[in-house]
Structures are given as C-alpha cells and as structure tokens.
A and B are shown apart, each in its own frame.
Chain A
Amino acid sequence: MSSTEQTADALEAREVTISFEGLTAVDSVNEKLQPGEILGLIGPNGAGKTTLVNALTGFQMPAAGEVRLGEKIVSGLTPHWFRRHGVARTFQAGRLFREMPVSENIEVAAVSLGLNRKKANAHAMELLEWLGLADRAKLPAGVLPYTDERRVGIGRALAMNPSFVLLDEPAAGMSDLECDEIMKIVSEIPSKFGCGVLLIEHNMRVIMGVCERIHVLDSGKTISRGTPQEVQNDPAVIKAYLGHG
C-alpha cells in the first residue's frame, strides 16, 4: 500500500464497542475502510454486522471507542451529518418513498445535497440507466418488486458520489441471476464512483466474488480478517459457521 493511500480519508472504527442493556453487540472492533476498496463484512446472524454499520453511519453512538472520518472523530454525529459528508448506506428493508416516482427517490437525495431539479433528474437517470432501471423511472416506487427496490436503494445511496457506501444485505432473498446483477453493480462502484464499499451479505458467492478484503464478526468480536482465500480457510471462521464441533 502506497503512502498516499494511507493518508487519504478513510472511514475507520477504532476499538468500537456497542452494548444494548448489558449485551455487548459489538466488542472492540477495529476496521479501516479505504476509498476505492470493497470490504466484505460477514458473520452468523446476530454477529453485530448491522450494528457496526449503524455506528459507522451515525445511527448508533458507540459506548466506547471511536469512529473517524479521516482524522476527525465523528462518533455521535447524526446520520444526516454522515450523509452530507459522503457516507451513505442502504437498508435491509428498501425504505423507498413509495408514493414518489422511482427517479424522484434518487433526485431527492441529489437535490438536498445541492443540485437543482434539472441536474438532479439527469443524475438520477444516469444512475437508473446504470442500474438497468431506466424504463421504470416514472413508476411509483411502491409498485416495484423487492429486487428492484434494493437497486433503487443503492442508486439513492450513490447519489452525489459519496466517498463511502455501506450496503446492508443487498442480495438477500435474490435468485442466482439477480445475485449476478448485484455483483456486477457492486463491483463497478469503486471505479465508477471512486467510492469505498462495505458490503454486508450472507450470500458467500456474492461476498467471495466481489470483495478484496473480508472482516468476519462473531458475537460482536472480530474473529478473522483477510483476503477471501485466507478467511475461507481460517479454522475460526469455519467453526463459527458450522458450530462448535
């Protein structure tokens, strides 16, 4: 890794700990998401993946440790602040504006971050074109099937080229073919948007297919970090997934 990449702004968790009424959901986790990379975040159900993403996007204040954006300590700031400073995310449930047309779902993010309506519309159409949804731009978002809804959610997060995007299970419940489409989309994000991606996903084919690095959580603790190859062969990971034999 060159020194310029080291000093570029990164989204970082330092010793982040989050607990809910005594239950530790995330326990002293360290991670540094660099611009332009795709990092996978995996682990069994309840491992604390979404909770960590919540901390990295302002939805959850860490009980201990800190979240940094570059050198700035940003833990405790609002999701609104994170979005305005280039940290975007998607949600497991699409949470689109169901009454608004698909294009306006993306436009609203672009407009609130500074574009005028015309430019925001052009920007939204570009994103929809890339996502393969251009023909559905005028439909109310509420009528979209689940899989398209996810893709609009990704488009909405990528409006105005954020520096980081955190995708929470974008491929959940999708068929193999749909997973291929999502993989294509996710793998294009860094080059197209210069954006660092953190990907939570249960589908191992998707994770192993697009991630350069993987971080494995189990019961809130980091149990493994490395390349897909390294992680797949790590006995700790195998044990976490297959149970304690």
Chain B
Amino acid sequence: MKDLAKTLRVSKLLSNKKVLLVLGLAIAIIGIIVAVTDPVRFQILITSVSEGSFYALAALGIGLLFGVLRLINFAYGDWVMLAGYALILPSTAVTSTLIIGSFHPVLIVLIIIGFTVLLSVISEGTVFRPMRNTSPAIMMIASFALGYVLQNLTIMIYGGRPKSAGIFEELTQQVNLAEGVSVPLLKIITIGVTALLLLLLTLFLQRTKIGIQMRAAAEDFRMARMLGVRANFVIAMAFVISGFLASFVSLMYVTQIGILTFRMGTPIIVFAFIATVIGGMGSLVGSVVGGMVVGVSSVVLKNILPGEIRGFSDAFVFGLVIAILLARPQGLVPAKSARERV
C-alpha cells in the first residue's frame, strides 16, 4: 500500500513539466560530465547524440504531418528508402551503378532533396488529399498501403536483392577530436546538419507567413480555415517540409550504411514513430526530445550492457519507451492541441 502511494507520487511528480525539464537537464549534464572524463565514454556521447539527432530529424518529418493533418504517415520510411534508391541506376542487375550518386556532392544533395519533396507532394496529391475528410485511422492505413506499393515498385524496378550505394565515403573516415577520441566525421556532420535544420525549421515556423498559418492549422485546423488560412496550400507545404527532412534522413543513412534494401525504411520509421509518441504527438519540440531519448538510449545501452545481452539492447530501449509512456501517457512534451479533431 505504501509502495503504491509512493509510485503514484512519483508519477505525479513526473507529470509536472518543470520537474521533467530539470530532470532531463540533470541527466544531460551528468551524462556530459561522466563522458568528458574518459575518451571512450566521450566517443559514446558523440555517437549517441548523433544517433539521437538522426531520429530527431526523422521524427520531425512525421510529427509535422501529424500536427497539421493528424496523419500518422508510415510511408515516410519508404520515402527515405526510395530517396536512397534514386542514387543508383534503375536496374535489376546484381551490381549497382551509381548515377546521381556519382555527381558532385552539392548536386547529389540538391537532386535528392528535389526527388524526395516531389515524392512527398505526389503522395499527398494522389493518396492523402482525396482522403482528407476521412478519419485519421483510415489515412494511417492508406499510408501503410502506400508504403507497400512503394516497396513493391522498388522490387519491380531494382530487384529484391540488397544493392550497394557508397556515397560521401570520405565522411566515414575517423577524425580525432581529442587524445584517444576519434569518431567518424559523419557523426559530427549529422549533429551539425540536424542543428542547422532545426534552426531553419524554427525560423520558418516563427517568422514566415506560411509558418504562422501552419502553426495555427496544427493547433485548430478548422478554426484556421475559418479565418481564411488556405488549407490546401498549408498542407502541401507541410508535405514539402516533411519530404525535405526525409531526404536528409536518407542521405545520412545511406552514407552510414552504404547498402540499399527495399525494407530499409522500416526500422527508421519504427524508431522515429516511437520518438514522436514518447515526445508527445503533434509537438515538434516533443519530436526532437523523443528522437534524442530513443537515439541516445539505444547507443548508450549497446555500449554499457554486458556482452551477452548486448544484442538485445532494443528490448531495453522499448522497455524504456513503455516506462515513459506509463509515467507520461501524453508524451514528454505534449502538444496542448493533440486531441482528436472534430
């Protein structure tokens, strides 16, 4: 009985935003202090923050569409996957040939952004726009279907075998940050690019005409429309941004892995989706926080768990997810307007 009261008190404490903020900061600071004293731990810190950034970015692309449209978009992972395949020659041959992937790096980035944005906008125009007045559940099922269509198209065009696609290989080189601390350059770039994109997205939402309308639409879509906000335009822009983010997720992932498979989007979407849920559906800050929690805990657990159970680190990550959701079902940084739209 006493224990129950104690548990209740703890979970009540955790539902207070300020307490949570202090707790989060404390964990971050302790983490940094523990890390800087030891080169190996410092390496883990960089790697885990990088992984967190990656999932934060992926989660943002999902969180944004949920915010504006209440769309849970499972096809997002397949946009990431197709953006990867766009780098190579369309053929079912065993060996792959880089086409776009062999261009100048700037050109690669620009073309892949363009490709993914186009894919995202086409998905909205052909699938999600006609379904806009159905329920969120139906749109989610449609996104599953779209994902499978894209996967099977990929199999038809490229075959089902994994394909190699080495891009930006120089980024996988190790760089020395300090005595005994060396991490792949890509890890640092991932953190930098994510920070930059977050800054851009924040400026966009805060300062631009489209941004203010998008925030209003995310909070109360019908009211925004009544005030004159153009729904089609705002939603299309949300898809543009989501596709834009997906292109970076894809480029980072392919650079890291160097291999394309038609199922490669699935683990990304699963982790990113969990990140948006524990962060708080519909809250962009929540998406970032959730991405960090998932990414950091995943890397840290892979490194600190004893060898024999290390392979099951995902089980611990998901255990943590369940624990967070039990304490805060609404997510860590919930959107005040995440209620179902009427």
Contacts and interface: CB of A to CB of B under 8 A. Distances in A.
B216 A80 contact: no
Contacts of B231: 80
Interface string A142-157: 1000000000000010
A98 B336 contact: yes
Given A111-B209, A117-B207, A100 B227 contact: no
Nearest to B335: A99
Contact of A80 (B209, B215, B226): B226
A107 B224 CA distance: 12
20 contacts: A78-B225, A79-B226, A80-B225, A97-B216, A97-B224, A98-B336, A100-B212, A100-B216, A104-B216, A108-B213, A108-B216, A108-B229, A109-B227, A111-B213, A112-B224, A112-B227, A112-B229, A112-B230, A117-B212, A142-B336
Interface string A103-136: 0100111011100110000000000000000000
A109 B227 CA distance: 5
Interface residues of B, number: 21
A84 interface: yes
Contact of A99 (B213, B224, B226, B337): B337
Residue from A108, A111, A117, A156 with most neighbouring chain B CB atoms (10 Å): A108
A185 to B, nearest CB: 19
Contact of B224 (A78, A98, A108, A159): A108
B65 to A, nearest CB: 18
A98 B228 contact: no
B116 to A, nearest CB: 28
A205 interface: no
A107 B213 CA distance: 9
Contacts of B219: 97-100
A79 B207 CA distance: 27
A83 B230 CA distance: 11
Given A100-B215, A108-B215, 17 more contacts: A79-B225, A80-B225, A84-B228, A95-B220, A97-B224, A99-B337, A100-B219, A104-B216, A108-B213, A108-B224, A108-B229, A111-B212, A111-B213, A112-B213, A117-B207, A117-B209, A160-B228
Give the size range of A's interface with the partner.
20 to 34
A166 B87 CA distance: 56
Given A95-B220, A97-B219, A117-B207, A80 B228 contact: yes
B336 A99 contact: yes
Of B209, B225, B231, which is in contact with the most chain A CB atoms at under 10 Å from its CB?
B209
Interface string B204-226: 00011100110110011001111
A112 B228 contact: yes
Nearest to B283: A99
A66 B278 CA distance: 50
A111 B205 CA distance: 13
A118 to B, nearest CB: 10
Given A97-B219, A99-B219, A100-B219, A108 B336 contact: no
A116 B335 CA distance: 27
B269 to A, nearest CB: 27
A100 B205 CA distance: 12
Contacts of B227: 83, 108-109, 112, 156, 159
A95 B213 CA distance: 16
A143 B8 CA distance: 28
A95 B225 CA distance: 13
B222 to A, nearest CB: 8
A142 B336 CA distance: 10
Interface in A215-230: none
